[in-house]
Structure 1
Amino acid sequence: MVRTSDEWTSLGRSVLLRQLALGPRSRHQLERKLAEREVPPAVVSALLDRFEEVQLIDDAEFAMMWVRSRTALKALSRAALRRELADKGIDPELAEEALLQVTDDDERDQAHDMVRRRLRGSADLTDRAGRDREVRRLVGMLARKGYSPGAAFSIVKDVVAEAQAAG
């Protein structure tokens, strides 16, 4: 079907509004969604520029919100958040600015809390094999959250030592 420029603009606007109704999106995400619908690049650019002008799209605010929500809900490391923001098409400078919300202490405290919650009460920490198995499981969990192996081992070692001292 051949569409006029006005029809493409109307379609593109509808797609953008539907996407934004679902939640905040980056310019890059919206650009990809319009490309999927085969909206011509000139129309895409004009629509996205207009949506930015009226502040319906704001990558800096999106990055700040993304870091806050993913830190609170998923306890991800800054490295993992940085990768996610890059996947969303956020400019590296904007990403670094948003990541300043999470300090080294915040990240470490968050990881400690997560390991404390996930440490199995049934794990026999006095048995070397059982303790090693639990340490590997917890280090793996932190690794999946984006923590470096060194930091993950250090954090798990601290929490296991606390648990042994308390138990």
Structure 2
Amino acid sequence: MNHTDDEVEPLSSGSEADAEAAAREIVLRQLTVRARSRHELATALAKREVAPEVARRVLDRMEEVGLVDDATFAEDWVRSRQQRRHLSSRALQQELRRKGIDPEQVTEALEGVEPDDEHAAALALAEKKMRTMSGLEPQVRRRRLAGALVRRGFSSNLVGRVLDEVEPDQESYGSLG
């Protein structure tokens, strides 16, 4: 059965067992694509009009067998997104909250992010962006780099430090105005 999420029909008829089987199938299909938070899976089930009590039972069972684990999801998400997307802790926190991760689990997942990790992510992003900006005036390049770093959630102190590292001969961040 090769349905996209939008092609799955609502679960409004049939027996309770059929409804649970269909809900399990939706969840497993979602998890085949990528790991998801319980909230994301609950949203997918609600979108398919799965009865709330059926959704809760299916998701509880998925947690029992270890297929749904928000704490592990959050830790893996932080590690992956910081390495590949060069995101700050602040941006990661916002993403996890949007995914419905409990604030305590968000805090625990972000505890593993050291200041050096955040610096490395900001520096990697700045160096990547620098390669595409070689033809720009130094002030324009610096301003665009600063904007890219700030949009990823890095603090102004870290942005200034990274800019001084990638372009040490230019004006300091504070004078960009």
TM superposition score normalised by structure 2: 0.82
Structure 2: any 5+ residue segments left out of the alignment?
1-11, 172-177
1:37-74 deviations in Å (ceiling 9; x for gaps): 00000101111111101111000110111011101110
Alpha-carbon distance in structure 2 between the residues aligned to 1:14 and 1:91? 25
Aligned AA (2:97): A
Among candidates 112, 115, 131, match of residue 123 of structure 2? 112
Alpha-carbon distance in structure 2 between the residues aligned to 1:62 and 1:150? 30
Aligned AA (1:49): D
Counterpart position of 1:67 = 78
Aligned-partner SS, 1:82:
helix
Counterpart position of 2:97 = 86
Structure 1: any 5+ residue segments left out of the alignment?
125-129
Counterpart position of 2:153 = 146
| Residues 135 and 157, structure 1, Cα contact 8 Å, conserved in 2 | no
Of Structure 1 and Structure 2, which has the larger fraction of its residues in helix? 1
| Residues 138 and 170, structure 2, Cα contact 8 Å, conserved in 1 | no
Aligned AA (1:64): E
The CA RMSD measured in Å over matched residues stands at: 2.0
Among candidates 131, 134, 141, match of residue 138 of structure 2? 131
Percentage of pairs with the same residue? 41
> Which deviates further from its counterpart, 145-154 or 13-22?
145-154
Alpha-carbon distance in structure 2 between the residues aligned to 1:20 and 1:109? 31
Alpha-carbon distance in structure 2 between the residues aligned to 1:122 and 1:45? 54
Counterpart position of 1:21 = 32
TM superposition score normalised by structure 1: 0.87
Aligned-partner SS, 2:153:
coil
Tell me, yes or no, if structure 1 residue 35 matches structure 2 residue 42: no
Alpha-carbon distance, 1:162 to partner: 6.1
Aligned AA (2:134): S
